[in-house]
Structure 1
């Protein structure tokens, strides 16, 4: 039984959650994500509570769309050289999560190699509680840069994430079925480990989407909005029955974003994509129903 069926939909129905990652990153992202949520162009977002603009994100939610579907974007990395952040936990040492400068490491691989699981647990709790104290009614959780998944070293921290999800009643971004896109190949060891982790999450009563997809994060040479749109429409037409989460990174390409971000134009294209009439037409033609993480959270609560 797929997650769509567990939500009460038919076996062959296609449900899509479009989630805007990195809410709270900066003002440009906050404004764009809030607008898209208010317009109903996307279904949800996840907020980076470690970033200075997270309080601005919470304020915009209160003012513009207080009922928006927003989760916590658990963060253990700080990837840009000109803009840094570090752990929120103040109740105990989290020295394994930060370098001598106090910032998170730049890469997920470094985070995987150094992170102490107990310190990760305390940091995930601190980020979750910070969102709740800011007045955000959390609906789900996910992982910034995939640093909890063990992609680089095999040292995943998913069981820690499951523990925190269970405490706070949060569904989690872990696909029940891995799906290779864009010609990528998924190594067999990752496939097998993922199956085990899915069983462990579901044994804890944590609701997961069936699939997780998204467009390429970076632009290649010669890419334009039209090539990015073609990629996105192809992904939409290829959706499988069940619940799919689409990872989006929308923002206006402002001077603020350009000051630290390596791909501001791609973020602007993603914002334009979800407002594009052709996208709405394909959603209708393919019979794709837009939902939010709230639907999965209600299901999780009903089974608790």
Structure 2
């Protein structure tokens, strides 16, 4: 049985989760993502618990329990002027941080140094912190792919699947890697193996994962970016797909953090755009949330 059928849909239906990553990263992201969630322009979001504005994001989510909000497991801190580190307060997580006490800026540095048990500790700490603040996460995903082994080939997905099974949380990993994502060839080859591992643990995963480069391309405009997204959506296959966004409002705060801030403002506009809405309707693409996958996983335990 396909995932779509297990969720109660026809096998030929095109089901799309639009997830806003980096909730809690800054106030500009929080304002934009909360608005999109309230409007139904995105179907879920994931909070970066180590970031300074996570509390604001989680408080909004706790006050709006009908929204699908998960945890964006974070082990990297990529922006030069703005840094964050582990939320673990008891026990050592020294292998996860730089000399300054922050997460490293890139996934490869994290993968080379991270102790698996400290990774496990910090994953649990991030989930538990969200829960103590009042959010019952609908799912987990991962900031910058640090847990997937995209930098060096050393992944931590076995640990992730164990924790997902324990908490009853589905996880962002695609069963099939052919929707335009830029992933190393080796990672694409092991996608089937990882899907089998998730299945064995009873962890529900996606069929497909969609996304576009997060940085500004040379000569790119909002219209050309929207056109690229529309081409991806027209090529959507039957099953459950997720489209990753990093939306935010174009505040001075965001501009000080991110040199590609304008791309995040475009992503805020994207699924509010009448042309995108019209395309979703014309193609028969149905937006669903991660909570549907979570209910399936918990019902199957």
Identify the TM-score tier after normalising by the shorter chain: over 0.9
Query: 1:234 maps to what in 2?
Result: 231
Query: 1:105 maps to what in 2?
Result: 104
User: Residues of 2 paired with 1:192 and 1:221: CA distance?
Assistant: 31
Deviation at 1:8, TM superposition (A): 1.5
Unpaired segments ≥5 residues, structure 2? none
The residue matched to 1:138 in structure 2 has which SS?
A: coil
Deviation at 1:60, TM superposition (A): 2.3
User: Residues of 2 paired with 1:208 and 1:3: CA distance?
Assistant: 9
User: Residues of 2 paired with 1:279 and 1:162: CA distance?
Assistant: 34
Query: 2:166 maps to what in 1?
Result: 167
The residue matched to 2:190 in structure 1 has which SS?
A: helix
Change (3 A) 1:224 1:130: same
The residue matched to 1:100 in structure 2 has which SS?
A: coil
Deviation at 1:7, TM superposition (A): 0.8
Query: 1:282 maps to what in 2?
Result: 279
User: Residues of 1 paired with 2:152 and 2:28: CA distance?
Assistant: 34
User: Residues of 1 paired with 2:65 and 2:188: CA distance?
Assistant: 38
Query: 1:157 maps to what in 2?
Result: 156
User: Residues of 2 paired with 1:180 and 1:59: CA distance?
Assistant: 34
The residue matched to 1:228 in structure 2 has which SS?
A: helix
Deviation at 1:197, TM superposition (A): 1.2
The residue matched to 1:259 in structure 2 has which SS?
A: helix
Say if 2:61 and 2:69, in contact at 8 Å, map to a contact too: no
Query: 2:190 maps to what in 1?
Result: 193
Report Cα offsets for 1:119-174 as digits up to 9, x if no partner: 00000000000000111121000000000000121100101111111111100001
Say if 2:49 and 2:71, in contact at 8 Å, map to a contact too: yes
Deviation at 1:112, TM superposition (A): 0.7
Query: 2:40 maps to what in 1?
Result: 40
User: Residues of 2 paired with 1:38 and 1:90: CA distance?
Assistant: 33
Deviation at 1:61, TM superposition (A): 2.5
User: Residues of 2 paired with 1:241 and 1:92: CA distance?
Assistant: 45
Say if 1:108 and 1:152, in contact at 8 Å, map to a contact too: yes
Deviation at 1:221, TM superposition (A): 1.8
User: Residues of 2 paired with 1:278 and 1:61: CA distance?
Assistant: 29
User: Residues of 2 paired with 1:22 and 1:74: CA distance?
Assistant: 10
The residue matched to 2:215 in structure 1 has which SS?
A: coil
Report Cα offsets for 1:233-279 as digits up to 9, x if no partner: 11111100000011111111110001111211000001111100111
User: Residues of 1 paired with 2:251 and 2:183: CA distance?
Assistant: 35
Report Cα offsets for 1:210-242 as digits up to 9, x if no partner: 001112211112111101110111111110000
TM-score of the aligned structures, taking structure 1 as reference length: 0.96
The residue matched to 1:207 in structure 2 has which SS?
A: coil
The residue matched to 2:28 in structure 1 has which SS?
A: helix
User: Residues of 2 paired with 1:71 and 1:165: CA distance?
Assistant: 12
Query: 1:140 maps to what in 2?
Result: 139
Deviation at 1:180, TM superposition (A): 4.4
Say if 1:3 and 1:242, in contact at 8 Å, map to a contact too: yes
Change (3 A) 1:185 1:261: closer
Query: 1:83 maps to what in 2?
Result: 82
The residue matched to 1:217 in structure 2 has which SS?
A: coil
1:273 to 256, 270, 273: 270
Deviates further, 117-126 or 193-202: 193-202
Aligned residues: 301
Query: 1:205 maps to what in 2?
Result: 202
Query: 1:9 maps to what in 2?
Result: 9
Query: 1:60 maps to what in 2?
Result: 60
Deviation at 1:2, TM superposition (A): 2.7
1:262 to 254, 259, 265: 259
Say if 1:180 and 1:186, in contact at 8 Å, map to a contact too: no
The residue matched to 2:233 in structure 1 has which SS?
A: helix
